[in-house]
Structure 1
């Protein structure tokens, strides 16, 4: 139980650090461009303490669920004092304002990469895409009639993969001339086969052609609907998939970079699927089974983090923390107010509009009137609050669990 509580607190602390650095990204870039940063606070609600250094007040508030960086003149509607007016953010060039607004999300991306890099050099990165890389090559293959049958090799037992020269680390790229991008593709292709089969593997960046004598063996298969186990004949070559990729301090940069690209792709896919997952969240609140693919709140993510630590699954804990940073970073760049992406969209709208006006011989149109966007902003805030309330409720009454 103590390990679970420690995991929950540690994950929540990781989120707080991420938020603090997000706001620090805004602050550092704003100061670098000469904008005036009035306040930098972590948390919301009543103030715990604060101090002033230079022209900026730094502090902490009681509710550690966010933070803010108060930059003078973020919009033309913000009140600024006469001495602040020349350094108001809205007066700066479009690209500078864009950098400041995007800095928070970029900080999340950097944090996610750092977490993945540390994972790569310490415990390796998981094979999330089921890349058909070989983890182990068995000394033999033989019939098994139960799920726990682990009999040792007997004299004369065949060793297809070993005999063909397959090595740990090889990646199977094709079987019988058919491309096999995932491990499932490899197994589905090999299982119906028997006898010599052409297999291409990638080894040290080169494609090596091999011929493997596929052997038909008995394997137990359990029907998930009935729970009954039957024994069937399947083709096998005697290899297991590599579940974790290991790296050194140098190669970890490439490994973490490639993994980051994959996570960006998965994050974008989750965002596209987000609206259609909400009904399942509502269903789970009223007693339905919780779909593990439904969105989770900070509460749910912290609970999963606690369970991961309790089970000793530190790789899952860190992967979840990296994933959350990528999700928040991408989500915050959506062109919707009051998100940073919404402010960036308005900034570039002003730039394009003024460029078009200039082509027509007209003067610049001036800053956008945010009051005209207040209705849309309130709708977004309401929807965001409703989704947050739903996911928090679901994570309390019917949370996603590791087991």
Structure 2
């Protein structure tokens, strides 16, 4: 059963990513057709064609390698100024890089048919070209927003409650935990909650004579009540009961707003002496209002942007971890293999409710779409951001020329950027192979 659940989780995310890629290309396809550009191909994947069907002037299909997709439009490369007026491409250069540009223009020219003169991509106004190229990334952004709305408003977010998931029998200090102690000994003092008779499943409703307003409120009061005997009201099996508890003053790790341990400059956990009773809160999904969707998307985008900005160093870190005994950074980049593995692990957790599993999987697909949005905006070819940068550069050159009454420099020739395109593509493929390898030999796990 566990294996089946693992496979179902992987399939859920795999289908979600495939649909996201398909819709990304639809984001390019629809505005291109709306602007009368002739689209020759709409393909999901790369390599040999597995299946295709022609509808009108466009061939729609699926290719063997599911590593992305593309929309092929006529007139992606403007003609060289030295080309003949009828569109014939002249080979006037013997340089390797120049020959790449010449070959690309020749291949593009072979696609042209009578009547394509006003349907070529490079002839579109700059603002229309930008809309076509941004259509894909913004489709991923839209998918991410919709899925986050489903996640937050439909399922809710996991929040700590005043219901107790665990009651410790003794107090193990942070120093003892750092030394590897995990079990109670006769020398360890009894945990105040255990001594007061609290059990897992109890729900604390009042502390020190005042009703509690959620786990954060209860936790803050416990920390401030060290050494004082205070009354506690709790509900067990629907019956309200009272007890007395004396929080113990002990060193506890300091955590940030996300619950992660705070460390000093040397990387050591920061501790503080506070009241402690030895309990862990149970979590439950709490639905959020629609006003929380966009802030959640914004937080996710900022986190992804931080990874992308530091991507070279992050990839180096992954390589070092993959070929050494170092641990992987759980917040670092992962491949689709890693995403699938995490999805499978989530689905296979028998103790996690089905609703929580589905919510987590929806969140994974939403985050992948936001990552695709950010990544595709990088201003490098062959990414969408590279085409946008080329269009903006063309517009800037023409405006400057007009301002200083110089001759129109014409279209920016993206074909001349093919060497950079091939280098970037090779780096992206190398990074993908490395991440897949690392996700196989040194996978990131959320449950270690």
Which category of TM-score, normalised to the shorter sequence, fits these structures?
0.7 to 0.9
SS in structure 2 at match of 1:361: coil
Summarize the Cα distance change of 1:336–1:168 in structure 2 as closer, same or farther, 3 Å threshold.
same
Task: Give CA deviations for 1:281-339 in whole Å, capped at 9, x if unaligned.
Answer: 12222242331233211111111111111124333322222111111110101111110
Summarize the Cα distance change of 1:242–1:376 in structure 2 as closer, same or farther, 3 Å threshold.
farther
Please show how residues 1-400 of structure 1 align to structure 2 within 5 Å.
1-76=3-78, 77=105, 78-79=108-109, 80-126=112-158, 135-136=161-162, 145=171, 151=194, 161=207, 163-168=209-214, 191=223, 216-217=247-248, 234-235=274-275, 246-247=286-287, 251=289, 253-291=290-328, 292-311=330-349, 312=352, 313-400=357-444
SS in structure 1 at match of 2:70: strand
User: Which residue matches 1:228?
Assistant: none
Task: Give CA deviations for 1:127-167 in whole Å, capped at 9, x if unaligned.
Answer: 6xxxxxx74389xx999646896538579xx9875634542
SS in structure 2 at match of 1:85: coil
Summarize the Cα distance change of 1:190–1:346 in structure 2 as closer, same or farther, 3 Å threshold.
farther
CA contact (8 A) 2:51 2:63 kept: yes
Q: CA deviation at 1:71?
A: 1.6
CA contact (8 A) 2:41 2:59 kept: yes
Task: Give CA deviations for 1:18-49 in whole Å, capped at 9, x if unaligned.
Answer: 11010011001111222221111222222222
Q: CA deviation at 1:219?
A: 6.0
Summarize the Cα distance change of 1:375–1:244 in structure 2 as closer, same or farther, 3 Å threshold.
farther
CA contact (8 A) 2:40 2:72 kept: yes
User: Which residue matches 1:210?
Assistant: none
Partners of 1:124 and 1:381 in 2: CA distance: 39
Partners of 1:91 and 1:272 in 2: CA distance: 33
CA contact (8 A) 1:142 1:217 kept: no
CA contact (8 A) 2:226 2:249 kept: no
SS in structure 1 at match of 2:60: strand
Partners of 1:31 and 1:102 in 2: CA distance: 14
Q: CA deviation at 1:121?
A: 2.8
Q: CA deviation at 1:279?
A: 2.5
Partners of 1:25 and 1:33 in 2: CA distance: 13
User: Which residue matches 2:258?
Assistant: none
Gaps of 5+ in 1: 128-133, 173-182, 197-213, 225-231
Summarize the Cα distance change of 1:237–1:363 in structure 2 as closer, same or farther, 3 Å threshold.
farther
Q: CA deviation at 1:340?
A: 0.4
SS in structure 2 at match of 1:319: helix
Normalising by the residue count of structure 2, what TM-score does the alignment of the two structures yield?
0.69
SS in structure 1 at match of 2:67: strand
SS in structure 1 at match of 2:310: helix
SS in structure 1 at match of 2:118: helix
Q: CA deviation at 1:120?
A: 1.6
SS in structure 1 at match of 2:9: helix
Summarize the Cα distance change of 1:32–1:320 in structure 2 as closer, same or farther, 3 Å threshold.
same
The count of aligned residue pairs is 351
Summarize the Cα distance change of 1:75–1:154 in structure 2 as closer, same or farther, 3 Å threshold.
same
CA contact (8 A) 1:41 1:67 kept: yes
Partners of 2:169 and 2:439 in 1: CA distance: 45
Partners of 1:360 and 1:242 in 2: CA distance: 69
CA contact (8 A) 1:217 1:233 kept: no
Q: CA RMSD in A?
A: 3.6
CA contact (8 A) 2:252 2:274 kept: no
Gaps of 5+ in 2: 79-104, 173-182, 185-190, 199-203, 229-244, 254-260, 262-271
Partners of 2:55 and 2:415 in 1: CA distance: 33
Q: CA deviation at 1:274?
A: 1.9
Larger Rg: 2
Partners of 1:371 and 1:52 in 2: CA distance: 28
CA contact (8 A) 2:49 2:61 kept: yes
CA contact (8 A) 2:227 2:248 kept: no
Partners of 1:143 and 1:152 in 2: CA distance: 8
Partners of 1:99 and 1:352 in 2: CA distance: 17
Partners of 1:110 and 1:244 in 2: CA distance: 27
Q: CA deviation at 1:194?
A: 5.7
